[in-house]
Amino acid sequence: MLVISERTSLPVSTNYITFDNSTQSLVPATRNLFDLPLVYLPVAFVFMSAAAHFIIATVYRKKYESDLTKGINKARWVEYALSASTMMVAIAMLSGAYDLSTLIMLFTLTAAMNLMGLVMELWNQKTEKTNWLAYWLGCVFGIVPWLVVVIYFWGANTYGSGSIPTFVYWIYVSIFVAFNSFALNMLLQYRAKGKWANYLYGEKMYIVLSLVAKAGLAWQVWAGTLRP
């Protein structure tokens, strides 16, 4: 993907206020900071996942397997905090979010959502009854970036030319469903529903969902904007 893709770039900008001498007032302004080759985003989150799997399968394997017997996987949430947040930035930029501050906040909120998964598992190591606070906080943190992207869709269609490509809408729907499937998987785990009563079944589902979400987003981005 890195080698054969078209070098399509998107701007990363900053918004600020400046003084307009002609009107003697403060006015909003935008400055382009740099252009980011779009291919770097899908390549980044795919490599993050690959690196995490390699570490878990080698030097971290004993700790990983030991943690699974306790109903926890710390490495999963750390990897998701980085890779899923990068995925969210990619989706936001394809939707027209170019402001650096906005992208940083979207990345941070998505990372916080995933780290709440880690808090959920750590916290409930010490409780007899499941405490859902971290879970619901993660849901709140996680929904905000998607609402921000919806606002960009709305702005493009209401005030612009509605020029967001159709494939971006498909990305939004498919990855939104995938992200929510992670939350559903955890819900079923902690409610011990059916096969999810076995923590290892939930772990397998996390692995499958991660593969589907990352591969799905990477190749949708490639097919929509990076294909030679």
Print pLDDT tens along the chain (228 aa): 889 988 899 999 999 999 988 888 999 999 999 999 999 999 999 999 999 999 999 999 999 999 999 999 999 999 999 999 999 999 999 999 999 999 999 999 999 999 999 999 999 998 889 999 999 999 999 999 999 999 999 998 888 776 788 899 999 999 999 999 999 999 999 999 999 999 999 999 999 999 999 999 999 999 998 887
The pLDDT of residue 227 is 85
Q: What are the C-alpha distances in Å from 171 to residues 140, 189, 216? A: 21, 27, 8
Strands (E), the chain: 9-20, 25-37
The pLDDT of residue 162 is 65
Residues 211, 177: contact at Cβ < 8 Å? no
Residues 61, 188: contact at Cβ < 8 Å? no
Residues 214, 83: contact at Cβ < 8 Å? yes
The Cα–Cα gap between 214 and 42 comes to: 8
User: Which residues lie across from 28 on neighbouring strands?
Assistant: 17
Strands (E), 8-84: 9-20, 25-37
